[in-house]
Structure 1
Amino acid sequence: MSSSPLPPPLQQQRHPGYEEERLRRVAEQLPCREVQAGMLLSLMGEPQQYSLPCIFIYGHRASGKSYVVNVLLKELELPHATISCAECITAALLFEQVLLALFGGDAAATLPRYPSLSDFVRIYRHHRSRAPAEQTRYIVLEKAELLRDMDANLLSVLVRLQELVEDNLTVLLLSELVWDTFRPNTGCLEPLPLHFPDYTKAELHQILSRDRHPSYSADLYASYIHILLGIFYAVCRDLRELRHLAALNFTKFCEPVTEGKAKESDTHKLWRNIEPHLKKAMQTVYLREVSSLEWEKMQQVETETGPLRGLSAHTHVELPFYSKFLLIAAYLASYNPARTDKRFFVKHHGKIKKTKFLKKNEKTSNHLLGPKPFPLDRLLAIFYSVVDSRVAPTASIFSQISSLVTLQLLTQVSHVDQLDAPKYKCAVSMDFICAVSRTVNFDIIKYLYDFL
């Protein structure tokens, strides 16, 4: 079965109503996204035509959704309002931004203090009648998944806003989630979905190679991007993160060339110089717990004093909130005797004699003996005691325990088929758990039997 041929470049596709020069500029700014831009432009139609009421654009993070839409609307000079739902935390702010962008400050000022959906529709229709649309107006809502947390009927109104305001208007919803997670129980008009796939490795190479340093040849930068993707592509396919990593580490890659120890063609020497550095940088992909300036300072410290230590002190604390408390509970369960749980974790435990609590024959530290196994029910009991907020025993909590095992922060010591009473051990060091505890303002020393 032969694959379908690729569509021609954007400027060669037939899009009547738009100048060829503008389409050419759009195509130059959208490498590896000409297919999606052409499909979206076909759905939008000519500027004066009525477009679809709502188009739902979805795809993973950094797949070019917002960029493609904004380039099209700005370069083709189409009237639009681009709004981030993360910034407009209420429907009132969203209504204000839409009216401000499409009709100006006077329209936004006519909104009541607590506007309803009907207020917004009424004011929009009033200003639409005073300024009829010569071209299709577009409302772009980024991070549209946050609309689900606003008014119950807001999403149902937005997908059919064209009908309600009787205007040549299209709403573009941009999200990382699929439409199935949006659909209200009461039902609503279905928007037309448009998927943006992830960039392939070849496409990422093509895009990142365009950012080459002016002081070096294009071939050198292309070989650097090839090395970078060879290390990071398996764990990170986010274009923005890869672009940040490429800019941050290029100086280290060119260091032998700058110092005269290698030529640009000595790819093998450059590879050996940068490989260990990139592998250390891979430990902090997405985390950004150090700034670019701090990272460069850490590089200098590594060169002058020895191996880099800064990252290893940061990476382990980047866990979900409840996972941190689960790990803390696991550490306490591994290093505290079970008989001490009542003393540490029960608020109204009554009087416990110190002679009974501290056994005289226990001369060896539990930390020297190593972690001891504990059952799942003890782990959860300690977890619910140390976490401040009340947490229901949901599947999410149990899945985070599995994730800690996968990350080798916990070790399952019972058999996998032993579902009724699984047992675990905590596999992290004292320094590790103290660093994790500091991130959630929990003083773990007060709860350790060895430090009484």
Structure 2
Amino acid sequence: MDEIVFDITQQIPCRKTQIQLLASIVGKADCPLPSCIFLYGHSGTGKTLVTTSVLEKLGVLTSHVNCVEFYNARVMYETILNQLSGTLPSSINNYTSYAACDNLGDFVRHLKNIGYAQGKPRMAIIMEHSERLRDCDTSFLPALCRLQELTQDINILVILSSTLPIDKFRPPTGLMEPIILHFPQYTKDELIEILLKLRPTSYSEEFYRNYVSLVLSVFYLATKDLPELKHQVQLNFHAYCEPLEKGEADEGDVRKLWRNIEPHLKKALTSVYLRQVSSSQYERMQCLTETGGHELSHTKSSVTAKMELPFYSKFLMIAAYLASYNPARTDRRFFMKHHGKQRKTKAMIKAKERSRNQLVGPKPFPLDRLLAIFYSIIDDKVTPTANLFSQISTLVTLRLLTQVGGDDQLDSPKYKCAVSFDFIRSIARMVNFDVVHYLYNYS
């Protein structure tokens, strides 16, 4: 057992306590398994990696499922049975599962059949994002915690992995308490030790440690998520090494290296968790920015055109575009049923000839005007909830909307639409909205 723990610790640093505890709970090949283990901690803390590594080293037959992928219980049951039985639905077997199963009773019966057919091995079911199971029937979670009891002499373990504590899971009918194992967030020193494993062999450990410390000094307050930090470390390392490759600095010249990478880290900081492109595409855009290439605008527009927004966010973007390019005096004409007739005067005709709103550019508009247009163009009855206002903030973060006047204007913030008409027209086509019909002086 000590050798197994040592091997896993070498592969997964800074998780020795959790590895030892989980290995002692699961035990050796002839040990009975517990009924249920509950793992909780933030995403990127090693819950899935540690669990799968320990079970694999201890020879436990494992089924690993993600509860986000299942839209009903039948798909989840059949996926678990396929993995434990070794059945792979394909064109050869006409995509046939191990067995059709749509209720808990059949699921337990098939689990017993699989256990008897394979000589009663030790089996485990890892359920990632198990907080989704709270939406199932109230008896489902208690039954999972007692699955070993329901299958009688089958040695099976259920591992629930979640970002929420166990207090958020207890149903009104009660729950058999599982063994609880917490995965805390990595400290800054632990993150440095883990990220050092990404070091290229052509650079010294001290040089790479200095680089990782610089990146963490920028990103640590924004995110402690290990996959995100790994991405940022790998993404910006080439920019950090540019002075070395050009012969302008050596590995000990930290100040010059930092001056070179600082603008890259500031740009990357604005895209944490909000990346729309791959790392290679992002690096290409950075190069185009530095060289002043004309291809950058096309790249950004193509990236923005491929974005998938929520349903209400699409109407918010349409409303923002109309508020930016339509004069406020025309809102009554476009968005009210009984707006009365409007008589054209010579001054209005001359003003129309002087300038076109599409050429002048977007103009700022207040939040209440944006919401008024939004409620006018959408057919559904939408209540002004916090979710709707958070979507506006997300659009500002994605730089699809621009907030004018700073963040201190809490009472009446003003915004401007920051996307092109082609982008708005593509969004309007998705929701079957004729945006040209509502544009003032469009040509």
Name the TM-score, length of structure 2 as normaliser.
Answer: 0.79
Query: How many Å separate the matches in 1 of 2:317 and 2:81?
Result: 49
Of 98, 123, 128, 2:115 maps to 128
Change (3 A) 1:307 1:119: same
Per the alignment, residue 160 of structure 1 pairs with 146
Unaligned ranges ≥5, structure 1: 1-17
Structure 1 range deviating more: 204-213 or 71-80: 71-80
1:119 maps onto 2:106 in alignment: yes
1:236 partner SS? coil
1:83 partner SS? strand
Query: How many Å separate the matches in 2 of 1:213 and 1:387?
Result: 54
Per the alignment, residue 145 of structure 1 pairs with 131
Query: How many Å separate the matches in 2 of 1:338 and 1:183?
Result: 53
Of 31, 37, 59, 2:13 maps to 31
Query: How many Å separate the matches in 2 of 1:216 and 1:286?
Result: 29
Change (3 A) 1:50 1:387: farther
Write out per-residue CA displacement over residues 70-114 of structure 1, whole angstroms, 9 at most, x where no aligned residue.
Answer: 1111222222211222334432232223223333439995523x5
What letter matches 2:41 in structure 1? G
1:199 partner SS? coil
Q: CA deviation at 1:226?
A: 1.3
1:82 partner SS? strand
Q: Is the 8 A contact 2:138 2:173 kept in 1?
A: no
1:360 partner SS? helix
Per the alignment, residue 23 of structure 2 pairs with 41
What letter matches 1:111 in structure 2? A
Q: CA deviation at 1:307?
A: 11
Change (3 A) 1:283 1:87: same
Q: CA deviation at 1:31?
A: 0.7
Unaligned ranges ≥5, structure 2: 90-95
Query: How many Å separate the matches in 1 of 2:229 and 2:194?
Result: 11
Query: How many Å separate the matches in 2 of 1:198 and 1:172?
Result: 20
Per the alignment, residue 92 of structure 2 pairs with none
Structure 1 range deviating more: 87-96 or 243-252: 87-96
Change (3 A) 1:359 1:141: farther
1:284 partner SS? coil
Write out per-residue CA displacement over residues 209-234 of structure 1, whole angstroms, 9 at most, x where no aligned residue.
Answer: 11101121122211111111122222
Share of identical aligned residues, percent? 42
Query: How many Å separate the matches in 2 of 1:405 and 1:286?
Result: 15
Query: How many Å separate the matches in 2 of 1:325 and 1:447?
Result: 13
1:147-296 aligned within 5 A:
147-150=133-136, 153-166=139-152, 167-296=154-283
Of 329, 340, 349, 2:330 maps to 340
Query: How many Å separate the matches in 2 of 1:332 and 1:106?
Result: 52
Per the alignment, residue 85 of structure 1 pairs with 67
Change (3 A) 1:189 1:326: farther
Name the TM-score, length of structure 1 as normaliser.
Answer: 0.78
Of 312, 318, 331, 1:322 maps to 312
1:449 maps onto 2:440 in alignment: yes
Query: How many Å separate the matches in 2 of 1:331 and 1:393?
Result: 20
Q: Is the 8 A contact 1:91 1:151 kept in 2?
A: no
Q: CA deviation at 1:334?
A: 6.0
Tell me the matched-pair count. Answer: 422
What letter matches 2:414 in structure 1? K
Q: Is the 8 A contact 1:323 1:401 kept in 2?
A: yes
Query: How many Å separate the matches in 2 of 1:160 and 1:361?
Result: 78
Query: How many Å separate the matches in 1 of 2:374 and 2:169?
Result: 33
Q: Is the 8 A contact 1:334 1:374 kept in 2?
A: no
Q: Is the 8 A contact 2:324 2:365 kept in 1?
A: yes
Q: CA deviation at 1:342?
A: 4.6
Per the alignment, residue 383 of structure 1 pairs with 374
Write out per-residue CA displacement over residues 367-404 of structure 1, whole angstroms, 9 at most, x where no aligned residue.
Answer: 9698566573x543422333466534433224545777
Query: How many Å separate the matches in 2 of 1:161 and 1:344?
Result: 61
Change (3 A) 1:157 1:335: same
Query: How many Å separate the matches in 1 of 2:196 and 2:66?
Result: 30
Per the alignment, residue 105 of structure 1 pairs with 87
Change (3 A) 1:214 1:105: same
1:425 maps onto 2:388 in alignment: no
Q: RMSD between aligned alpha carbons? A: 3.9
1:265 partner SS? coil
Q: Is the 8 A contact 1:299 1:308 kept in 2?
A: no
Q: Is the 8 A contact 1:73 1:80 kept in 2?
A: yes
2:343 partner SS? helix
1:391-410 aligned within 5 A:
391-400=382-391, 409-410=402-403
Structure 1 range deviating more: 195-204 or 285-294: 285-294
Query: How many Å separate the matches in 1 of 2:412 and 2:283?
Result: 44
Change (3 A) 1:21 1:374: closer
2:68 partner SS? coil
Query: How many Å separate the matches in 1 of 2:304 and 2:426?
Result: 12
Q: Is the 8 A contact 2:130 2:162 kept in 1?
A: yes
